[in-house]
């Protein structure tokens, strides 16, 4: 049976094939060679208190249109000035309404680390992410074989980027650990069904070795959830919908960080 994730990845591969015809891998490699080094996002996520990865997100497969974001650079500056550790930019177009143009705009606007959030299935996309200024890339374990996961994780580090390795269940968590992931995101949303399971983080975090940065993802509605995840050992939160739908994005960023930081117990 075809899952939602399968359908998204199929579309990603089609769009990727078009881009690869227009911009070759050697073209990307040349661009990367001319860029300054990526920002060490892992080091920043390890700092005391709860970190926040704030997301530029127009739409989602589960909720449809979320927010009109005519100026992603302005939104990113708002997040960064309010204290966000990093900015996540959706670049998948069909389901999330994002683009590499959004990534370019955000990269030019902020000095904090920038995450290219997309469904990465080929090495080309990692080169593409770095060429457009990304410091962090997302590797979703559910959409990769073990060989792809290990290879792309290694390539991310060769390019100087931090890999946020996303998991949804016990088996994926073990695969991420086996691949040497240093930053693991636990997504409460099952990408195959789009259902949210709030207990996913507390169930999986004991399987993640001490010293690995843990990121709680999806379904974070406000300060109460931030405090809960921090108390369970989250080092960071990745928040999109709550921020883009909020009336006061600056206040929401500050509330999430403050609520989480006062409840952080951390992990050895």
* Number of neighbouring beta carbons within 10 Å of residue 117: 29
Judge residue 255's burial from the number of C-beta atoms within 10 Å of its C-beta, 0-12 exposed, 13-18 middle, 19 or more buried: middle
3-class DSSP state of 14? helix
Which candidate in 42, 92, 172, 217 is catalytic? Answer: 217
> Quick one: tokens of 237?
């939160």
Which candidate in 60, 190, 218, 263 is catalytic? Answer: 218
Which candidate in 42, 92, 128, 166 is catalytic? Answer: 166
Instruction: Establish whether 187 is a catalytic residue.
Output: yes
Integer angstrom CA distances of residue 127 from 5, 60, 264: 23, 25, 35
Integer angstrom CA distances of residue 19 from 59, 125, 138: 22, 10, 19
Instruction: Establish whether 57 is a catalytic residue.
Output: yes
Instruction: Establish whether 166 is a catalytic residue.
Output: yes
Instruction: Establish whether 117 is a catalytic residue.
Output: yes
Which candidate in 42, 51, 55, 128 is catalytic? Answer: 55
Instruction: Establish whether 218 is a catalytic residue.
Output: yes
Residue whose structure tokens are 């309404």: 97
Which candidate in 60, 187, 190, 263 is catalytic? Answer: 187
Which is nearest to 157 in space by CA: 175, 178, 177, 139? 139
Catalytic residues: 55, 57, 117, 166, 187, 217-218
């Amino acid at each position: 049976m075809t899952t939602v994730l399968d359908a998204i990845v199929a579309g990603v591969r089609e769009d990727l094939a078009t881009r690869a015809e227009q911009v070759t891998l050697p073209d990307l490699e040349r661009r990367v060679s001319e860029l300054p080094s990526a920002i060490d996002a892992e080091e920043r996520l390890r700092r005391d208190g709860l970190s926040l990865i704030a997301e530029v997100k127009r739409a989602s497969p589960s909720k449809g249109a979320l927010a009109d974001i005519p100026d992603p650079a302005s939104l990113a500056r708002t997040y960064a000035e309010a204290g966000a550790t990093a900015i996540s930019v959706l670049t998948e177009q069909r389901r999330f309404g994002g683009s590499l143009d959004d990534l370019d705009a955000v990269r030019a606007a902020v000095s904090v680390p920038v995450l290219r959030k997309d469904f990465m299935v080929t090495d080309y996309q990692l080169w593409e992410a770095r060429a457009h200024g990304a410091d962090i890339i997302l590797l979703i374990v559910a959409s990769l074989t073990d060989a792809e996961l290990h290879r792309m994780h290694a390539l991310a580090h060769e390019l100087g980027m931090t890999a946020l390795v996303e998991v949804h269940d016990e088996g994926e968590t073990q695969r991420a650990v086996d691949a040497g992931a240093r930053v693991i995101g636990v997504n409460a949303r099952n990408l195959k069904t789009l259902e949210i399971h709030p207990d996913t983080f507390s169930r999986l975090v004991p399987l993640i070795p001490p010293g690995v940065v843990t990121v709680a993802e999806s379904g974070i509605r406000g300060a109460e959830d931030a405090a809960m995840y921090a108390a369970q050992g989250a080092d960071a939160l990745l928040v999109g919908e709550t921020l883009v739908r909020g009336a006061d994005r600056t206040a929401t960023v500050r509330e999430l960080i403050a609520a989480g930081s006062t409840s952080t117990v951390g992990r050895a």
